[in-house]
Amino acid sequence: MSPKRGVAPLRRAEIVRATIRCLARDGYSGLTMKKVAREAGVSQGILHYYFADKRAILVAALETVTADLDQRVAAAQSREGRDPRARLLALIAACLRLAVEERAFWIVFVEFWGEMMHDRALREINAALYARTRRLIGAVVAQGVRSGVFRRTDVLRAAAVILGLVDGVSLQLTFDPTAFRVAEATRFCSDAVMRYLAREVS
């Protein structure tokens, strides 16, 4: 029997959140539909109504953590007006805070990356996600170039460098939260990015 109208989106979201908790605790190799159903407090029949298999629920988990990160970044940037430097620094800070405040979310990314190495369809999903993220970061860099704040550069390549730095430091915070404080990580990442984009002084 299908869920009542209006209940379905909420129940689906609850199942995905339960999946995120399971992935953080047991990893993808230890994930089963039975475990997710138990964590979400639903029957396996209900679970299969929403998701055909583990792969489908992993993709849904990735989409959820990505949407959450998008919302955090957008909220942080909205407080900075149109200043490209402030908007870029807000993005860096929001991403790094997520690694500490919602460690399970970064674990979802790690588990997805592990699986995509053996699954072409998952690689294509990840490639599209990263292309989109580079475009979003590149748009901020382009704004800074146009306003004379940043040096002239290939904005998508610059976005790839920034994304690589943020990803790498976020992973270190996820793997070892004692390595450095998030405020410290934000400072040195921000300094590195601003130096990288700084205009040359003649």
pLDDT digits (tens, 9 = 90+) for 73-117: 999 988 888 899 999 999 999 999 998 888 899 999 999 999 999
Q: What is the pTM of this model?
A: 0.88
The tens digit of pLDDT for each residue in 1-18 reads 455 556 788 999 999 999
Report the CATH number at residue 18.
Answer: 1.10.10.60
Assess whether 130 and 186 both reside in one domain.
yes
Assess whether 114 and 70 both reside in one domain.
yes
Q: What is the model's pLDDT at position 51?
A: 94
The tens digit of pLDDT for each residue in 121-131 reads 999 999 999 99
For residue 19, give its domain range.
Answer: 1-51
Assess whether 152 and 170 both reside in one domain.
yes
Q: Is residue 68 part of a domain?
A: yes
Which one is predicted more confidently, 202 or 112? 112
Which one is predicted more confidently, 70 or 201? 70
Is the distance from CB of 36 to CB of 18 less than 8 angstroms? Answer: yes
Q: Is residue 166 part of a domain?
A: yes
